[in-house]
Structure 1
């Protein structure tokens, strides 16, 4: 028997592995976006992890989802596909760090979903975080030096966070509903692939085949591996965590990794106003993610 402390440490470890592999995936997608068309890259983003997870599912004889679970897996697959469409557009039209920050607004949208779907009451801290994020986006949108200009790329980047939050809500519910991480992620990614395929231009596929070399092929397989690891480790972390307050503060270590990659790999200067706006959004996201942890500490002190 493992102690609760060991289980908590394992959950933290899985979560950190998840956020690190997610940041590496973002780097790979940024690099591939310079070579591949967006429709082909979006399909490849689900094809390569599916080539890993679906055969692994059958090899390990994992349990198939029940008829009641399939609609939620379908919803998650569609959400994953829409989130990545938005993220791919944002990462090719904004700086690397801007796109990752907007994608990471998911927890703020999760709070709004809780309010709309489950009639949950928003705390003062959550409302403050949402307002703070709104102000940050306004500042960032005015960073062009030409006054306020809410770009399409910024709006679509927020759409990546919106659909990502829907995907995370379904994943959290399904993992707690006794559906294993392998089954959940294998079929969610496969459904996302099926949703992406109708939008692929065959002419673009022919062009990609001509461009394929060992570097592009290696990046594609690396993307498949890091996506698989992100999904598996995130699901495993949720499965082991004793409470959401344990994992919530760790979600935004992704931004720390992303900032590191931005400084090391990408020469994308950022205007001071854009940097300020993004900083405000990061603070808002951190406020939201830290709230469960703060509440648990307050409850411990009150005892």
Structure 2
């Protein structure tokens, strides 16, 4: 197996053997992302999706740049994988548009749950693109996960909403972004991947503002800044957590965002889930955990800054 290039995110073995600290960072990141989703739902009542996505990116850029400057990757920012960086950025940005749209039109728990299906699609995309073998246990988990998705979507029950497919598209696009990161991970340090995604996503998301600009109210500005801060801190916590303990140990805790989103949705909007959705949620989360445990740890470290629910 290729050895990942050294950088400040990939620590030595002694540093990686801190499962409790790593778990706390992952749970902290999950809470940050759930709060981010909550604020997105609030500001979406006043601003269109294009505005929310752009200001999430530009505010996060402001907060992330000092971290990137401190964690300068070996070899600087020069890359031979510009097309892959662009693909990763387009996929991640597309996932962000889909996710924020889903948050505005679905229950918070539903949006987070369907957006967290990326582990089910990663093995399929990796097989088609990179011819990576899918184990029998992973195949079984994927089938169970798709049964869970059907239980959540409930086609034919008269309560299906198109926004659910948009939320599901988030999981597909995040999976594409993570497989692209895997493709680059043998030559690109994690910080360089973060740099190009941050720059590309900010520049590209500025384009739609030429025809969709809205002037935010003064109180909304603070919420937009807070969304960017939560995104930056959440990404840092997620990367830190995966760097302090094996991904197989702490990775399942990333589904904490679904739990936090469910609790917040119930407290703030009285949102509840029916029994079929709970059953589907169980299958999706269990299937995601099984497939995640078979993903290489260094891939998850690199992908931490692009994992749902904040692509």
Specify whether residues 175 and 223 from structure 1 end up closer, same or farther in structure 2 by C-alpha distance, changes over 3 A only.
Answer: farther
Query: Deviation at 1:217?
Result: 1.8
Please say if 1:106 is aligned against 2:110.
no
Structure 1 range deviating more: 253-262 or 156-165: 253-262
Please say if 1:256 is aligned against 2:259.
yes
Unaligned 5+ segments in structure 1 are 294-303
Please say if 1:217 is aligned against 2:227.
no
TM-score of the aligned structures, taking structure 2 as reference length? 0.78
| Structure exhibiting the larger radius of gyration computed from Cα positions | 1
Name 2:215's counterpart in structure 1: 208
Higher helix share: 1
- Taking the TM superposition and a 5 Å limit, the aligned residue runs for 1:88-237 are 88-142=100-154, 145-146=157-158, 151-171=161-181, 177=187, 179-181=189-191, 183-202=192-211, 204-205=212-213, 207-209=214-216, 212-214=217-219, 216-237=220-241
Specify whether residues 47 and 272 from structure 1 end up closer, same or farther in structure 2 by C-alpha distance, changes over 3 A only.
Answer: same
Specify whether residues 225 and 171 from structure 1 end up closer, same or farther in structure 2 by C-alpha distance, changes over 3 A only.
Answer: farther
Q: Judge conservation of contact 1:87–1:156 (CA < 8 Å) in 2.
A: yes
Specify whether residues 123 and 2 from structure 1 end up closer, same or farther in structure 2 by C-alpha distance, changes over 3 A only.
Answer: closer
Name 1:22's counterpart in structure 2: 33
Query: Deviation at 1:137?
Result: 2.2
Specify whether residues 2 and 40 from structure 1 end up closer, same or farther in structure 2 by C-alpha distance, changes over 3 A only.
Answer: same
Q: Judge conservation of contact 2:19–2:250 (CA < 8 Å) in 1.
A: no
Specify whether residues 173 and 244 from structure 1 end up closer, same or farther in structure 2 by C-alpha distance, changes over 3 A only.
Answer: farther
Q: Which runs of 4+ in 1 moved over 6 A?
A: none
Q: For residues 117 and 145 of structure 1, what CA distance do their matches in structure 2 show?
A: 35
Q: Judge conservation of contact 1:18–1:229 (CA < 8 Å) in 2.
A: yes
Name 1:41's counterpart in structure 2: 52
Q: For residues 186 and 101 of structure 2, what CA distance do their matches in structure 1 show?
A: 32
Q: For residues 150 and 13 of structure 1, what CA distance do their matches in structure 2 show?
A: 36
Name 1:80's counterpart in structure 2: 92
Q: For residues 67 and 295 of structure 2, what CA distance do their matches in structure 1 show?
A: 35
Superposition RMSD on alpha carbons, in Å?
3.0
Size of the aligned set, in residue pairs, is 283
* CA-to-aligned-CA distance 1:118-143 (integer Å, 9 cap, x gap): 32222232212221222222222227
